Amino acid sequence: MDTISTNRSHGGTQGVYSHRSAETGTQMTFSVFVPDHAPGAKLPVVWFLSGLTCTHANVTEKGEFRAACAQHGVIFVAPDTSPRGDDVPDDEAYDFGKGAGFYVDATQQPWAANFRMRAYIEKELPALVAAQFPADMARQGITGHSMGGHGALTIALRNPGVFRSVSAFSPIVSPLNCPWGDKALTGYIGADRTVWREYDACALIEDGARLPDLLVDQGTADGFLEGQLKTQILADACEKVGQPATIRMQEGYDHSYYFISTFMADHIAWHSERLKD
State the burial class of residue 160 (Cβ atoms within 10 Å of its Cβ: 0-12, 13-18, 19+).
exposed
> Degrees (nearest 5) of the Cα angle 215, 120, 36?
65
Residue type, 81: T
Output the tens digit of pLDDT for each of the chain's 277 residues.
Answer: 999 999 999 999 999 999 999 999 999 999 999 999 999 999 999 999 999 999 999 999 999 999 999 999 999 999 999 999 999 999 999 999 999 999 999 999 999 999 999 999 999 999 999 999 999 999 999 999 999 999 999 999 999 999 999 999 999 999 999 999 999 999 999 999 999 999 999 999 999 999 999 999 999 999 999 999 999 999 999 999 999 999 999 999 999 999 999 999 999 999 999 999 8
Q: Determine whether 255 is an active site residue.
A: yes
Domains annotated for the chain, with CATH where assigned, are 2-274 (3.40.50.1820)
Which of 56, 145, 150, 255 is labelled catalytic? 255
Distance CA(29)–CA(221), nearest Å, equals 32
* Residue 145 known to be catalytic: no
CA 251/CA 124 separation, integer angstroms = 38
Alpha-carbon distance of 167 to 215, in angstroms, equals 5
The rounded distance, in Å, linking the Cα atoms of 35 and 240 is: 40
For the entire predicted model, the pTM comes to 0.97
Residue from 34, 33, 36, 30 nearest 4 by CA: 30
- Is 136 tagged catalytic? no
Residue 71 phi, psi dihedral angles, 5° rounding: -60, -40
For the chain, the distance separating the N- and C-terminal CA atoms, rounded to the nearest angstrom, is 29
Amino acid 128 reads L
Out of 222, 267, 271, 272, pick the active-site residue.
222
Taking alpha carbons only, the member of 69, 56, 65, 77 closest to residue 133 is 77
Which is the catalytic residue, given 21, 31, 82, 146? 146
Residue 177: predicted pLDDT: 98
How far apart are the C-alpha atoms of 118 and 102, rounded to whole Å? 8
The per-residue pLDDT for 277 is 83
The kind and range of the H/E element at 47 are strand 43-49
Q: What is the pLDDT of residue 157?
A: 98
What sign for the dihedral angle of Cα 180, 186, 189, 194?
A: positive
Torsion over CA: 226, 230, 233, 234 (sign): negative
The helix (run of H) or strand (run of E) holding residue 29 is: strand 27-35
Beta bridge partners of 15: 6, 32
